[in-house]
Amino acid sequence: MSTVKGVAPPIEKYDGSSLRVLIVHARWNITVVDALIKGAIDTMTNEYSVKSENITIQSVSGSYELPFATQRLIAASRLQATPNAAELFSSTPAGEQTGPPPVNTQTFDVAICIGVLIKGSTMHFEYIADAVSNGIMRVGLDSGIPCVFGILTCLNDDQALERAGLGSSDKKHNHGIDWGHCAVELAVKNRGWMAGKI
């Protein structure tokens, strides 16, 4: 029997040709992470014309580091985009502001945080999964830049491989593809929302 699980295809054909995308990934479980990154990038470039030169890729050691690194990279990009950005935020240090930027200080339209957690013998997995999911949500809401939750939380190696399209079953599926679709849709919609369009 086929499954009811999964995301419906996007309603529109979004144009990603001017989007700027930040990918921040962990290097833990890198074989799986690499496949997920490839799935996301191929989807964005092949299906939405996102330019590869507009995709910035940065890595950190583990998934726990993803929210912090993403927050700092967004802050750094704003400083780069507007030389006097620090002054625009005046009393608050760069990176600690909440809400959308005041003017034209955004270099990334969307961030995708990619990591793979595989449960071991201790509670390590549970703590990291909880912290990372909350952290990524917080960075998105605080910065006003959508942050895609590209984290696999797997109970064993096989679950991780299947969800990166590397497994041996006929149900294997690369979730990086879904994250690519999700990133473009949210980035394009958010540009409209920021301009007051509903």
**Residue closer to ligand LTPLIIQW, measured from CB, 64 or 89:** 64
124 catalytically annotated? yes
Residue in 106, 195, 88, 180 with CA at minimum distance from that of residue 144: 106
- In a 3-state reduction of DSSP, which class is residue 151? strand
Q: Are 164 and 174 in contact (CB under 8 A)?
A: yes
**Residue closer to ligand LTPLIIQW, measured from CB, 62 or 100:** 62
| Residues 6 or more apart in contact with residue 91 via CB below 8 angstroms | none
**Is residue 194 part of the contact set for ligand LTPLIIQW (CB under 6 A)?**
no
Residue 108 structure tokens: 């990334």
**Contact residue for ligand LTPLIIQW among 17, 98, 124, 193 (CB under 6 A):** 124
**Residue closer to ligand LTPLIIQW, measured from CB, 19 or 154:** 154
**Contact residue for ligand LW54GNZ2 among 65, 162, 178, 185 (CB under 6 A):** 65
Tell me how far apart the alpha carbons of residues 116 and 153 are, in angstroms, rounded to a whole number. 6
Give the CB-nearest residue to ligand LW54GNZ2: 62
Tell me how far apart the alpha carbons of residues 127 and 87 are, in angstroms, rounded to a whole number. 37
Give the CB-nearest residue to ligand LTPLIIQW: 120
Q: Which residues bind ligand LW54GNZ2 (CB under 6 A)?
A: 26, 28-29, 61-65, 115-118, 124, 128
